[in-house]
């Protein structure tokens, strides 16, 4: 297993503890059920040169928390509490790990997955890296 895989696995486990999220698959699926879901996927990589012959990878992770788009009047109030509960869970997880996350952001809106429209949160963890002491 890689560091990235380990981090995604532990994030999945942490996301499963957030009240209200009923489906968190171990890996991306073609279709997401019509319940509130959480999905953790890798979304990018950067690398920086280090003394030869090694390099250090920094990667980005995206966390989706949402549900099938319905009436905005009904859907938005259901999803608003995740603006606090998911970042809190992520922060608890970061503090318990030996990693560093350079930037953490979240946006609310619609997105498409497998041809289905969803509404929810997109949390982005940028430049996730393992903390190493020389």
What pLDDT, on a 0 to 100 scale, did the predictor assign at position 53?
46
Residue from 109, 134, 131, 128 nearest 120 by CA: 109
Domain that holds residue 68: 3-130
Please name the residues in contact with 18: beta carbons below 8 A apart, sequence gap of 6 or more. 38, 65, 82, 85, 86, 89
Tell me how many domains the chain contains. 1
Q: Kindly tell me if the per-residue pLDDT of 6 is higher than 90.
A: no
**What is the rounded average pLDDT of the residues 94-108?**
88
**Helix, strand, coil percentages for the chain (3-state, nearest 5):** 25, 45, 30
What pLDDT, on a 0 to 100 scale, did the predictor assign at position 46?
74
We report the CATH number of the domain holding residue 111 as 3.30.2000.30
pTM over 0.85: no
Residues 7-18: tens digit of each pLDDT: 888 899 999 999
Which residue would you say has higher pLDDT here, 129 or 10? 10
Q: Kindly tell me if the per-residue pLDDT of 30 is higher than 80.
A: no
What pLDDT, on a 0 to 100 scale, did the predictor assign at position 79?
94
pLDDT interval class at 131 (50, 70, 90): low
Residues 102-128: tens digit of each pLDDT: 899 999 999 887 788 899 999 999 988
Pull the structure tokens for residue 107. Answer: 């946006």
Residues 35-92: tens digit of each pLDDT: 888 888 888 877 666 554 455 667 899 999 999 888 888 889 999 999 999 999 999 9
């Amino acid at each position: 297993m890689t560091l990235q895989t380990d981090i995604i696995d532990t994030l999945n486990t942490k996301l499963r503890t957030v009240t209200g999220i009923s489906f968190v698959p171990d890996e991306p699926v073609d279709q997401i059920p019509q319940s509130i879901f959480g999905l953790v996927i890798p979304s990018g990589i950067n690398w920086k040169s280090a003394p030869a012959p090694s390099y250090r990878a920094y990667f980005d992770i995206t966390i989706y928390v949402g549900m099938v788009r319905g009436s905005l009047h009904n859907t938005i109030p259901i999803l608003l509490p995740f603006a606090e509960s998911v970042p809190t869970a992520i922060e608890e997880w970061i503090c318990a790990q030996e990693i560093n996350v350079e930037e953490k952001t979240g946006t609310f809106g619609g997105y498409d997955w497998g041809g289905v429209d969803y509404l929810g949160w997109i949390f982005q963890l940028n430049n996730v890296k393992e903390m190493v002491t020389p």
